[in-house]
Amino acid sequence: MWIQPKELLLPSAFWIAEMHSRYFVLQKRRGHGESRGFGSMLVGTYDSVMNTKPAPYRILHQTPSSEVSYEIAIGITQDEIVKDWEWLKANLFKVLDEMENEDEVTNFTICKIQSLYTQNNQDDTGESADFKVMKSKFRQIFKMPEEERLVNSYSATYVKNKIPRQGQLYISLNHVCFYSYMLGQEIKRIIRFAELEDISRNANTIYLKTTNNMTYNFTMLFNASEAHLLIEQLNKMAIQQLIHDPDSPVVDHDTSNFSRLGSKTSKKPVLLRDLTARQKSEEFRIYFRLPQSEIIDGKIKANIWTPYSKRFNSGFIYLSPNFFCFRSDVKDLVSVVIPMKTIKSVEKKDDGQQRFENQIVIITSENVPFMFAHIVDRDVLIFKITDLLARVHVPLSRERAKYDISWSKQTALMNTFKTQFSAKIIQKQEEKMVRWEAHFRDFGRGIGMFRTTDVINLIVEGIPDKLRQEIWLIFSGAIHDKEMNPGLYEDLVEKAACIKNCFAHDEIDRDLPRSLPEHPAFQSTDGIGALRRVLQAYALRNPQVGYCQAMNIVSSVFLLFCDEENAFWMLASLCENLLPDYYKDKVVGAQIDQGVLNELVETHLPDLHGHLEQLGVIKMISISWFLTIFMSVISYESSLHILDCFFYEGAKIIFMISLQIIEWNRDKLLYCQDDGEAMLVLQNYLEGIYNPEYQVPPTTDKRKMKRKVRTQTVQTLIHESYTKFGEEITQQRIEELRNKHRRLTMRQFDIDNEKTIVKAYVQNPYFSHIELHMLLTIIREEKHALKSLQQQQQKVQCPLSETPQLVSQSPSRPIQDAGTFGGRYEAYNVSYEVFHTLFTELTPWRKCVSVDIGEKLFRLTDKKGTGVLDFGQLINALGLVCSNKNMEKLKLLYVLHLPPLLSKAEIERSRRPRPRTKDDAEEAFEAEDFFDNDASESMEALPSPSDNNFDADDFALINATQHLHNLAGISGNTFMDLSRTPNLSLNSNTSSLAHRSSTFYVDLPGFQDLGAARITPPGAGVGADVAAGAASAAAVDDMLLNVETISNFSQISDLVAATRLERADSNATDLRSLGSLGYLLDQPDEGASNSQHRIPHMRKENFQLLWRSIIEIMGLVQDEEMHRAYENLLELGNSNIKKEPSLESFTQLNMGGDEQPDSNGNPTTPAAEPIGTTRLFVALEEELRQASGKSRTTTTSSGDSSSTNISESWHISISQFIATVLTVNSIVKGFQTPIQISEQIEQLQKKRRKCLSTNY
């Protein structure tokens, strides 16, 4: 790429000339692409220690008589730099040769290169050439996909085993990575932000701790603070992404949302600037209570004129697309929020004595002037404001759909259900009203009022009932959301009313009677109806939250003082801005703040913290206190006062009140011996808090007539809270603690889930308690890595892998939420990709390369063909392979090499020499490797082993059908595609799924016309069965057997249905299907005597691959004893040869009645001759052959069919195999050697940390 010409005074010995001309030279960095010699080690070490980040290729311009060179182009790859060299050769070489003056040559070259650089960077991202080189190295070193965007890199020292390693710390959106190269030794470390458990900084050292207890220390001489804040921010984004969408864990950042309107003069990377703007925007929104869509555009130093004090106060002006804000330098001295849509004019003020103070005057639509002075750059500010005003969009109410429901908005319920206060209370209310009116005259009213400490004092004293709606809407920020979404509430209410059978609505209706039941407003239909509409509308607006308990309590209080729509927007502001994630599944936000309170107690009440921690009190109190903002534990009239402060201060007031209550009860709590006693102490105290300035008449309920002992006034509680904790607990401190405990809370969720699952499976025969925990950890990590890769690849619309889809997921399958009780088990279900990775990395059978044992074992273990294994199935599969149970392991290996798990296609492929090309690995994942053209060998064409509706004749039917279409020149997949039903369709396969009991499951694509036959109730009468069989036989006999008659696939399907119905309803002894190969996994400790007769014999081709797999598992070593065993098994197979029907594996299984097999495991009762199916397709085949002029070659008797050809049948039984193999000491010893899975998991985690990741 072309760069700005850079002057170089001295030649460097670190570069090697690759090409050169009279005025140019192409150089390569020494050591790049070469073997690691001493020189390359020195260069690599120098680059690592000195933090140089040169591109591996560059082009220099130099003249023969000058010692000064100019770097004009750099390249990441050789092709890229050669392309630039070719351009120079084609466009400049001849031109420069004609020039006589070297200065003219240099000036012309520099001007030309600058022009190229400008032209090529017009539409660029704004990234510098050095950053592009850094980004390329990051992706190359750590094998990161293009979608993983680098934020920045820092020179850092990583201390490992007290040995410092100088290198580069790379920070991307989802990872923090470190790379060092010193004297030939590379160190790579890669850490996901989502797995960080602790982040801290001491001076210039950043300390990181992961969930698997790995610690990392990075020391930086420069920018340590910036790197630490960036890691904190990205970790917060990663955890929030997990909370909001666990299935999409990759953090993304839309740079367009944070692009500033002004020019970008910073030299920092673009993404780093955007993330900084994102962080500042979040702080900006929190402080001024603005909508989530507001992005800060910039700030500028200025002074504001405050008419109430007749003076200027210094601070900063903040601009965003919809708001003009000011904040003083002195905390809480003054702040102003002015919506852009209310600004009528912006003018310079250059008259009078202040004409040199760069003043401007902003006049709002209410003719309120705001004067600003000492503006650093007044013209820029005016231009910015003018530009933003031109972009302001004022939302208007639009026409919306009409719904057939009748309703009207409810006004504030306190106006309808008036409370009869005493004269003293009424007088207090009037006095407060007078003070507020005086405040409005001096400081303004509405959104644009001057917000000072005076308003804080008024709120602490209490807000009059008449002003609560106005003050709550302004200071909560709900007024902005309402004005930006006119008509939305009405639309949501009417849409929600049309929704039927909604779980959230049922929950809402259940909780309505429990919403402030002592107030008469919620004993009437008006109050209950308004509350129902508000809650249902919000459940529709925010489906991720829906409805959560405690929302009804706070909403009922909002409805008392606000009209219905305002109450809705108050609830939205509470759930989305003021208490984020509180009302989600598992009340995550409240549990995070529970950890924050615990740490605040430890900081401010250290003598009490240990005792409360031991009792577990804080975990019990915080949820009930926080979710309802004390409304459920303190009297209604007192909690109103706390709610007033909450809308101004936010969550800060909750922590202050909690600490004050705990401190006041310090002595009593220290004497408590258990949690129940401590909770009773706090409960009695909270019930005694009262509000002397706002008392409702006593209730008539006799159960509530008994008054609790008064403990403290709410005014004193709030005043003492501000006095003791107001300065020490800040919003910044709360956010820092929330970031910390957000990590710890999510980690605790995982720990709790793991404990529950381990407790359920602790009795398993394979793994210990610790190994189960480690297995769960690695499953979680691998699933997270796979989801991240899937999400990134979906963004570029690329398939995840060329691996065939094992089972298609049914859209009708209900997805259980991870937060439910069952979901904690489902969170550790593993897909094929994750299972294959675990099998390959953890088990000794990974050495087997001729046959994909992992894929076979997954299919064998997947009981119901769901495409995932639960944790119990995973334990059985991996546990057996890693155990010392040599007998069961040999049986399992034998089964994994039987058809249909090992198909003819794989056997044929294994016989071909493996091509040594880079495409070899890709061919292993092509679909034809698993699905052959022969339908009889297709994994999807084979039946469920426990499906009694499928027999050998059905198998032959599919085979003959496929053969028929091949002869007719029809594509082999056409019939299957047209007649196949989805693998997991709950409508068609319900019966078969319900009857599957074996762990060996291979799904059978059903035929759409067979649905009724397959789900025929087993209780139907015998007469009905006989009638159905006779009808189907008649239907077969009546069909004309020629190609013209069977003119479409639907008639073939009808024929198949008729034949299948006849065969399914018969009691013939040829109903033989693969019964229970998964028996080995379900009951691994039982003897072989009960199961070996169920396992089919093995053909020679399968046996040869089985023996090859044994040799590979043994380390490609075959001793003389193994060779003799192999020869003995070949002889046994030869001795089993006799003239008999080649029935394949399925016809040897599940014989009806009391039938017993012969010595070779074959049925003694001859199979019933197929009455319709085979004759039909034999006749059709013969007719097609005659039509094409081919004669049919008959090598057997005329009565033989394609499924019963007489052939030489080499086979061995499982008894013969095991008996022979157990005589080989090396195999017995190898299969008896257990594998410590904990060591394998540690090695896998180490590989991940070193960036030796598995490509899914």
Between residues 904 and 174, which one has the greater pLDDT?
174
Name the average pLDDT for the chain: 75
- Give the number of C-alpha atoms closer than 13 A to the C-alpha of residue 70, restricted to the C-beta side: 23
Rounded Cα distance between 777 and 794, Å, is 26
At residue 816, the pLDDT reads 39
Which tokens belong to 368? 């309120």
Average pLDDT over residues 380-406: 82
- 36 or 499, which is more confident? 499
Residue 382: its pLDDT value, please?
93
Residue 841 CA to residue 845 CA, distance in Å, equals 10
Lowest mean per-residue pLDDT among 36-40, 225-229, 290-294: 36-40
Place of tokens 């929030």: 240
Share of the chain above pLDDT 90, in %: 28
Is 450 in contact with 310 (CB distance < 8 Å)? no
Map 262-317 to HEC letters.
CCCCCCCCHHHHHHHHHHHHHHHHHHHCCCCCCCCCEEEEEEEEECCCCEEEEEEE
- For 1039-1057, b/e burial (b = at least 16 CB within 10 A) is beeeeeebeebeebbebbb
Please give the structure tokens belonging to residue 145: 């996909």
Query: CB-based contacts of 782: which residues, under 8 Å, 6+ apart?
Result: 830, 834, 837, 838
How many other C-beta atoms can be found within 10 angstroms of the C-beta atom of residue 1170? 24
What's the CA gap between 1049 and 170, in Å, rounded?
A: 60
Q: What are the φ/ψ torsions at residue 1249 (nearest 5 degrees)? A: -65, -30
Span 225-252, average pLDDT? 86
In the block, residue with structure tokens 């008959």: 1194
Distance CA 1082, CA 1053 (A): 37
CA nearest to 1109, candidates 1230, 946, 956: 1230
* pLDDT class of 535 with cuts at 50, 70, 90: very high
DSSP 627-650: HTTTTTTS-HHHHHHHHHHHHHHT
User: Across-strand partners of 363?
Assistant: 345, 369
- Give residue-wise pLDDT tens across range 906-924: 777 776 655 444 444 333 3
pLDDT at 185 over 80: no
SS3 (DSSP) at 452: coil
Least confident of 17-26, 438-447, 1099-1108, 1191-1200: 1191-1200
AA letter at 178: F
- The pLDDT tens digits of the residues spanning 750-779 come to 888 889 899 999 888 899 999 999 999 888
Helix (H, G, I), strand (E, B) or coil at 528: helix
pLDDT tens digits along 617-656: 888 887 889 999 999 899 888 999 999 999 999 999 999 9
Whether the Cβ atoms of residue 368 and residue 444 lie closer than 8 Å to each other: yes
| Secondary structure (3-state) at 1059 | helix
* Averaged pLDDT, 152-162: 86
Q: HSE of 1133 in the Cβ direction (CA atoms, 13 Å)?
A: 21
pLDDT band at 975 (very low <50, low <70, confident <90, very high): very low
Q: Is the pLDDT of residue 827 over 90?
A: no
Give the Å distances, CA to CA, from 826 to 813, 822, 830, 913: 14, 7, 9, 42
SS3 of 198-262: the string is EEEEECCEEEEEECCCCEEEEECCCCHHHHHHHHHHHHHHHHHHHHHCCCCCCCCCCHHHHCCCC
Taking residues 456-485, what's their average pLDDT? 93
Output the pTM of the full model. Answer: 0.73
Residue 954 has pLDDT above 80, yes or no: no
SS3 1008: helix
pLDDT at 431: 92
Query: What one-character-per-residue DSSP string does 963-1005 give?
Result: HHHHHTT--HHHHHHHHBPPTT-TTTSHHHHHH---S------
Select the more confidently predicted residue: 1182 or 932: 1182
**Is 50 exceeded by the pLDDT of residue 678?**
yes
Q: How far is CA 841 from the centre of its chain?
A: 23
Where does 796-847 have alpha helices with state H?
823-826, 832-842
Find the helix packing angle between 731-761 and 769-795, rounded to 10°.
120
Least confident of 578-592, 693-707, 946-960, 1112-1126: 946-960
Residues 1184-1213 have a mean pLDDT of: 49
- Would the pLDDT of 569 be above 90? yes
Other CB atoms within a 10 A radius of the CB of residue 842 amount to 22
pLDDT computed for residue 1007 by the predictor: 29
pLDDT grade for 722, boundaries at 50, 70 and 90? very high
Looking at the predicted structure, is the pLDDT value of residue 305 above 90?
A: yes
Asked if the model's pLDDT at residue 703 lies above 60, the reply is no
When mean pLDDT is compared over 166-170, 656-660, 1033-1037, 1064-1068, the highest value belongs to 656-660
User: Which contacts (CB < 8 Å, 24+ apart) does range 87-91 have?
Assistant: 88/21, 88/24, 88/59, 89/21
The mean pLDDT value for 196-215 works out to 90
Phi, psi of 515 (to 5 degrees): -100, 100
Sign of CA dihedral 1146, 1149, 1153, 1154: positive
Reported confidence tier of residue 1020, pLDDT bands at 50, 70, 90 = very low
Confidence (pLDDT) at 404: 61
Q: Is the peptide bond before 900 cis (omega within 30 degrees of 0)?
A: yes
CA separation for the pair 536, 149 (Å, rounded): 40
Mean pLDDT of 790-807: 48
Would the pLDDT of 328 be above 70?
Answer: yes
Which sign, positive or negative, has the C-alpha torsion 401, 402, 407, 412? positive
**547-556: average pLDDT:** 91
Lowest mean pLDDT among 257-266, 588-597, 706-715: 257-266
Tokens of 274: 């955007």
Q: Which two tokens stand for residue 647?
A: 């809308």
With H, G, I as helix, E, B as strand and everything else as coil, classify residue 716: helix
- How much is the pLDDT for 266? 66
The lowest-confidence range among 247-251, 795-799, 891-895, 924-928 is 924-928
Confidence category of residue 289, pLDDT binned at 50, 70, 90: very high
Give the pLDDT score at 10: 62
**Confidence at residue 1015, expressed as pLDDT on a 0 to 100 scale:** 30
Using CA atoms, how far residue 275 sits from 146, 173, 1238, in Å, is: 19, 10, 40
Where is average pLDDT lowest: 482-496, 543-557, 886-900, 956-970?
A: 956-970
Query: What pLDDT digit, counting tens, does each position of 1117-1174 carry?
Result: 888 888 888 888 888 888 888 644 444 443 333 333 344 444 434 444 433 333 443 4
The conformational region for residue 291 under phi > 0 = left, psi -120 to 50 = alpha, else beta, is: beta
251, burial (CB in 10 Å: exposed 0-12, middle 13-18, buried 19+):
buried
Q: Is the pLDDT of residue 1186 over 60?
A: no
Query: Within a 10 A sphere around the Cβ of 221, how many other Cβ atoms?
Result: 11
Q: Residue 236: pLDDT band by 50, 70, 90 thresholds?
A: very high
Residues in the chain: 1256
Residue 636 pLDDT: 87
Q: Write out the DSSP string of 369-410.
A: EEEEES-TTHHHHHHHHHHHHHH------------S------
What does the pLDDT read at residue 226?
92
Three-state DSSP state, 182: strand
- pLDDT band, residue 982 (cuts 50/70/90): very low
Provide the token pair at 107.
């000036």
Q: Give the C-alpha separation, 789 to 837, whole Å.
A: 14
pLDDT for the residue 519: 86
Pairing of strands 323-328, 830-831: unpaired
pLDDT above 70: percentage of residues in the chain: 70
Mean pLDDT of 85-107: 82
Instruction: For residues 779 and 835, give the distance between their C-alpha atoms in angstroms, rounded to a whole number.
Output: 9
Mean pLDDT of 89-113: 81
Question: Which single residue is written with the structure tokens 């994630």?
Answer: 581
Q: pLDDT grade, residue 41 (50/70/90)?
A: low
Residue 51 has pLDDT above 90, yes or no: no
Asked whether the beta carbons of 1136 and 1098 are under 8 A apart, the reply is: no
Q: Within 13 A of 677's CA, how many CA atoms are on the CB side?
A: 10
**729 pLDDT tier (thresholds 50, 70, 90):** very high
Per-residue tokens: 1235? 């594998």
Contact 433, 422 (CB under 8 A): no
Looking at residue 600, what is its pLDDT?
94
Burial class (CB in 10 A: 0-12, 13-18, 19+), 1209: buried
- DSSP class per residue in 758-778: HHHHTT-SS--HHHHHHHHHH
Mean pLDDT confidence for 654-676: 92
